[in-house]
Structure formats: C-alpha cells, structure tokens
Amino acid sequence: MSEEADIVIIGAGVIGCGLALELSRRGHRTINVDKASAAGAGSTINSCAIVRFSYSTAAGVNFSWEGAQYWLDWTNHIGAEDELGLIDYHEVGQLVLMTDDDGHAHRVKSLWEQLDIPFETLDLDELAERFPYFDLGLYGPPTRPDDPAFWKDAIGSITGAIFTGQAGYVSDPQLSCHNLQRGAEALGGSFLFGAEVVEINQADGVVSGVQLADGRSIDAPVVVNVAGPHSAVINRMAGVYDAMNIKTAALRHEVHHVPAPEGVDFMTAGVVAADNDLGIYFRPEVGNHVLIGSGDPECDPREFVDPDDYNTSLTEEQWNAQVLRASRRMPQLGMPHERKGIVDLYDVSDDWLPIYDRTDLDGFYVAIGTSGNQYKNAGVAAHAMAELIEAVEGGHDHDADPVQVVGRYTGRSFDMAAYSRNREINTESSMSVHG
C-alpha cells in the first residue's frame, strides 16, 4: 500500500513540524512520519526550550534574532485553532555573566553590538540589586566535585553581565509542536505517528520516497531528514552519510530540576542565564523550580551513544556537578536529596552548528545537528529550508552558489553556506551547547 505526497518530512519534532507548516503554507502536500506516538514526543519533549541569542558566530546570532520573532508572533504564525491551546512564551530575558577570561561571553557582547541586538551592560552593583540571591564570586574554570579545586573559595568576583530583554523560554515544548501540527493540518499537511522509516527509496539516483516498517510506502520527489538524534541513522540509510564533510551523532545529556532558593519567586524574578564561570546555564521551571543544564565545559564528559540504547536515568556524578555548581551562584539553593530532571539526546554536528542543506542524493535534504541549541530557531529554520528546497528543486545550484534567505520579520539576509554539509569545521564555534 502506498501514499503520495509532494514532500515527506522524517520527524515531527519542533523543526519537523515547523517545516510542515511552512511548506503547507506554500502549497506543498506534506506528510510527516515519526516513529514516536505524537508530535514532539521525541527529543523535543525534553528540550529546555530556551530562546536566546548568545551564539558564538555572527550567523548564529543573526539567525536566532530572526527566530525569536516567531515566538513573539506565535498566534499569527500558527494561524489556526488548537484544542489544547497555544503555548505561552515567557519573555524573562537572558543574562550572560562576564569574566575577564570568558572569551565566549566577550564574543557574544561584540556580536550583539555588531548586529544591533538590544542589550544592556550590568555592573556588579546592578547585578546585586536585581539578583540579590546571587553570589557574584569568581570560581572558574569549571571543575568536577572529585577535583579538589572544585571546593576552593572564590578568588575575586565576576566582572558583570550583559542582559537582553526579548529572550525567554517555552515551558511546554511538546505543545509548541502540537500547535505547529494543527497549523499545518489546517493547510492540508498530514502526520503519521508510530511510523518507522526503514528505507529511503530511490530511482535512477534520485529520491522517490520512503518505506515504512509496517510495509507501507510513501512516494514523493522530495524527502527531508529532520530526525533529530536519529539523523545519522537516516543519512546512512539514504547513502549520503559518508559524502558529508560535517556529520552528526547522538550525545547524551542531563538537565536537573531543583526548588528555587527559599523566599525567591524564581518564576517572576528568574531569568535565562549563561554562567561559563561555573559551566552551567539555568532558567525558571514550572513549580518555582530552577532548571540547570551543563554548558559543556571541558571537564564534563561527552557521551556519544546509540540513540536507541542509552542510559535514561540521572547519574549521581552529573547531578552533583551541575547542582553544586548552581549552588555556588545561588547559595540558598541547597542540595536536594531527591534527584529530579530529564535525560535525553542532542543531535550534535562536528562543530555544534546545524546542517540545513541539500545532499548528494537529489531530492534528499537535511535539517539536522539541531538538538541542544536550535529549538528557538524552529520558525526561521523552516523558512530557510523551504526557500532552499524550492530554489534547488527549481534548478538552482546551491553548492556552487549558496542560497541567500531574507528573514520574514527582520529583513536580514542569511547566507545558507554557513549551514552547508560540506563546510569546514567552524573554528568560531564554542563547540558546546552555546553553538
């Protein structure tokens, strides 16, 4: 039994669903296939869903500033009713703590100035006034609790911070996927769940659709791999993995949830924060909790795994590292006895920057390497991919003459060569979740 579509999208996470809405809006018949049971039930469900602009490259900052506008205009972007309601975007702002030797933070400040991202610089007095529950001591570079240096007292203080007000987070990332799904369905898009892709069909060196594990096939002249942590699996299936200069792999990550410091309404007074002095980031979490993640400092191990076989339990070692680091910045946070949080996967490229591109198999495209730092860019990534797909399918040689995309909201231009599968490793990248 076979079905037909203009475009098959493998994956129904936030970027896959975003792409479905964008392509459906342009008149394409799309089908998203996902082996999970619902939209956003893969790695997106555990996304920290932070909307920020603190990337280490000019292309990343520019892209994310455009991406933020979709969240600020979410109702109009979806353009349809959702029986579950629409997500709330919590515009709490982002704080990037500064130290003299934090090259990433200083680069972010320079890029914000260069690209006209609105922000303010806070000195220590202003930080103390706004965030009286912070300890402003200098503790870095980050280490782990089994290192004696971890327990040293502060040596001086951080130097200040930069703050941008339009950053924030989404507290229900799976609902954002459901919103996008309903928007796409209102325009003719369809979704198949519990549908595992086992083969990328090809004819005469051109993609012709996908084969599903249950025997069904979907015929389509265009297939897009948006499979998140399974992206490398799908690329190998399509026979394009080896030809790509930049590749992807699944990286296991933990995020921890702890009660806010006593007496602090963190849902109101908290912000999205990047603290490279301690190697963490944090934001408010439902129930007046603090969500704490690793900023991927060199001391934290990186565990690349089989996306279908990995440890899904929180580990004592990483819990202690992240929560104790956060307790240094917020001393009243304490160290809860009960471990709470999530374990899931990032889809990480060789330089931690996404790949939004065509491939050497005509008709087969990729929007991958996105987990960990691209949730916020779902809207602009979908727009850029749609522009790229339509250009290449119309005969444009993207490899020789990279597609230039104009942002729908800001009017800024994005050179899609920055996201090429054939780029060299971008040495300006932080090589971490910061991007």
Q: 359-375, pLDDT tens digit by residue? A: 999 999 999 999 788 99
Residue 194's pLDDT is what? 98
**How far is the C-alpha of 147 from the C-alpha of 279, rounded, in Å?**
15
CATH class, 2-86+172-248+351-419 region: alpha beta
Residue 371's pLDDT is what? 75
Residue 372's pLDDT is what? 80
Which among 17, 2, 1, 421 has a CA at the least distance from the CA of 209? 2
Q: For the CA atoms of 19, 20, 23, 25, what is the dihedral angle to 10 degrees?
A: -120
* Per-residue tokens: 40: 């956003």
Q: CA-CA distances (angstroms) from residue 425 to 63, 65, 120, 349, 355? A: 18, 23, 32, 9, 12
- Strand order of the β-sheet with 355-358 is 190-193, 30-34, 7-10, 222-225, 364-368, 355-358
Could you give the 3-state DSSP secondary structure of residue 61? helix
Residue 373's pLDDT is what? 87
Assigned CATH for 90-168+250-347: 3.30.9.10
The pairing of beta strand 2-4 with beta strand 7-10: unpaired
Instruction: Say if residue 221 is preceded by a cis peptide, omega within 30 of 0.
Output: no
Query: Residues 364, 365, 370, CA angle at the centre, nearest 5°?
Result: 145
Domain assignments of the chain as residue spans, ordered by start = 2-86+172-248+351-419, 90-168+250-347
Parts of the chain with a pLDDT under 70: 1
Q: Which amino acid is at 278?
A: L
What's the whole-model pTM score?
0.97
